[in-house]
């Protein structure tokens, strides 16, 4: 059992997995909803402005094809989305090509 888990852990690029999970969460939330439970420290302390929440909502609006509201919520939302996607692609490619190189070099 332990061997299977370590083999699975070697196949997964954890940073890419976490970024993908975050984007998947933003895909499924309703950005139009004004009140919801959150893990945001600022919101839980009663501070209304949180740049991170604005960025997340901006990406969520982007998933809902509401570009104007996405830009109004946080002007860097679209750029952040592109950077996150680029990072995921880079990590997956690096993991895949390193695995292929290791197989060629070490059999």
Structural domain contains residue 91: yes
The residue with tokens 């490619």 is: 93
Structural domain contains residue 93: yes
Both structure tokens of 92: 């997956």
Both structure tokens of 52: 């991170």
Both structure tokens of 73: 């919520």
DSSP classification of residue 74: -
Q: Is the pTM of this model over 0.75?
A: no
The domain tally of the chain equals 1
Q: What is the pLDDT along the chain (107 residues), one digit of tens a residue?
A: 556 655 555 666 889 999 999 999 999 988 898 776 777 888 888 887 787 888 999 999 999 999 999 999 999 999 999 999 999 999 988 887 776 665 555 55
Q: Contact 85/75 with Cβ under 8 angstroms?
A: no
Both structure tokens of 34: 């004004």
Q: pLDDT at position 100, please?
A: 61
Structural domain contains residue 96: yes
- Residue 67 has phi, psi (to 5 degrees) of -65, -40
Q: pLDDT at position 28, please?
A: 93
Domain that holds residue 101: 43-107
Q: pLDDT at position 4, please?
A: 62
Structural domain contains residue 72: yes
Structural domain contains residue 89: yes
Structural domain contains residue 28: no
Structural domain contains residue 64: yes
Structural domain contains residue 25: no
């Amino acid at each position: 059992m332990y061997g299977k888990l370590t083999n699975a852990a070697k196949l997964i690029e954890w940073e890419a997995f976490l970024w993908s999970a975050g984007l998947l969460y933003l895909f499924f939330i309703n950005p139009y909803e004004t009140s919801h439970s959150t893990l945001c420290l600022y919101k839980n302390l009663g501070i209304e402005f949180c740049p991170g929440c604005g960025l997340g909502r901006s990406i969520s609006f982007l998933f809902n094809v509401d570009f104007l509201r996405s830009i109004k919520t946080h002007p860097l939302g679209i750029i952040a989305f592109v950077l996150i996607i680029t990072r995921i692609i880079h990590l997956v490619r690096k993991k895949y090509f390193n695995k292929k190189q290791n197989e060629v070099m070490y059999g």
